[in-house]
Amino acid sequence: MNDCVFCTLQGTEILVEDELARAFFDKYPVCEGHVLIVPKRHTANFFDATPEEMMSIGTLLNKVKELLDERFHPDGYNIGVNVGAVAGQTIFHWHVHVIPRYRGDAGSVRWHA
């Protein structure tokens, strides 16, 4: 879709990608190193993902974790997907949040009702 921010991604540094998905830093991070993993095919809902897309996301998730471990040395991670507006989804191109967590940070994820 032409008006989808995840379909256009102009000027965004891609950290890792394959033929089905890509990962990049969130423009509005919850914590330092917050990354989004986004399938290249536009679909709003996590539950519409193909098995191949899910495998791609899983592979990129491990690569992102290695990158974040090396660069930021977090103490833990939140990994999540919001499905639907009532669940906090604000961009309707499904994506996975990879949020590094650090001792002493707020310990919560961003969500607006």
CB 36 within 8 Å of CB 14? no
If you count them, how many residues does the chain have? Answer: 113
pLDDT of residue 8: 87
> Annotated catalytic, 34?
no
Q: Specify whether the CB–CB gap between 42 and 111 falls below 8 A.
A: no
Cα separation, 43 vs 63, whole angstroms: 23
Delimit the domains of the chain by residue range. Answer: 5-101
The pLDDT profile of the chain, 113 residues, written as one tens digit per residue, is: 568 989 988 888 999 999 999 999 999 999 999 999 999 999 999 999 999 999 999 999 999 999 999 999 999 999 999 999 999 999 999 999 999 999 988 766 655 44
Which of 34, 93, 95, 97 is the catalytic position? 95
Q: If you ran DSSP here, which 8-state letter would residue 79 be given? A: E
Q: Give me the pLDDT at residue 112, please.
A: 46
List the 16-17 sheet strands across, edge first.
Answer: 16-17, 21-25, 35-39, 96-101, 76-80
* CATH superfamily membership of 5-101: HIT-like (3.30.428.10)
Q: Are 82 and 31 in contact (CB under 8 A)?
A: no
